[in-house]
Amino acid sequence: MKAAFLPTFLLELALLSWRISAAPVPANEVCTLDGYQFKCQNGVWPRDKDMTFPAVTDQTTALHFEKFTFHEENLRPLPAVNLTNLGILTFDNVTVWNSAGKSVGLPLQQLTQRLNRVSVTTLRITDTEVGVLDASYFTGFRGLLSLSIKYCTVESVTPDAFQPLRLEGGGSVLTELQFSANKGVKTFPWDAIVPVAPSIRVSILPSQNHYPKYGDNR
pLDDT for the residue numbered 4: 52
The answer, yes or no, to whether residue 1 has pLDDT greater than 60, is no
Residue 147's closest CA among 133, 131, 129?
133
Percent of the chain's residues with pLDDT above 70: 78
Q: Please indicate whether residue 134 or residue 11 has the higher confidence score (pLDDT).
A: 134
Distance between CA atoms of residues 195 and 208, nearest Å: 28
What is the per-residue pLDDT across 52-100, written as a single tens digit (0 to 9) for each? 777 666 678 899 999 999 988 888 898 887 788 899 999 999 999 999 9
Higher pLDDT, 198 or 12: 198
* Percentage of residues in the chain having pLDDT higher than 90: 41
At residue 189, φ and ψ (nearest 5 deg) are -80, 85
Q: Which residues pair with 96 in a beta bridge?
A: 70, 104
Average pLDDT in the chain: 81
Q: What is the pLDDT of residues 95-119, one digit of tens each?
A: 999 999 999 999 999 999 999 999 9
Tens-digit pLDDT profile for residues 28-56? 677 888 888 889 888 888 877 787 777 66
3-state helix, strand, coil in the chain (%, to 5): 20, 30, 50
Instruction: Give the residue with greater pLDDT, 108 vs 192.
Output: 108
The better pLDDT of the pair 150, 212 is held by 150
Instruction: Tell me the range of 57-66, 140-149, 195-204 where mean pLDDT is highest.
Output: 140-149
Name the more confident of 186 and 125: 125
- Is residue 122 within 8 Å of 145, Cβ to Cβ? yes
In this structure, whether the domain defined by 26-205 belongs to CATH 1.10.3720.10 is answered with: no
Q: CA–CA distance from 167 to each of 77, 141, 173, 203 (Å)?
A: 26, 10, 8, 23
Q: What is the DSSP letter of 84?
A: T
Query: What pLDDT is recorded for position 113?
Result: 94
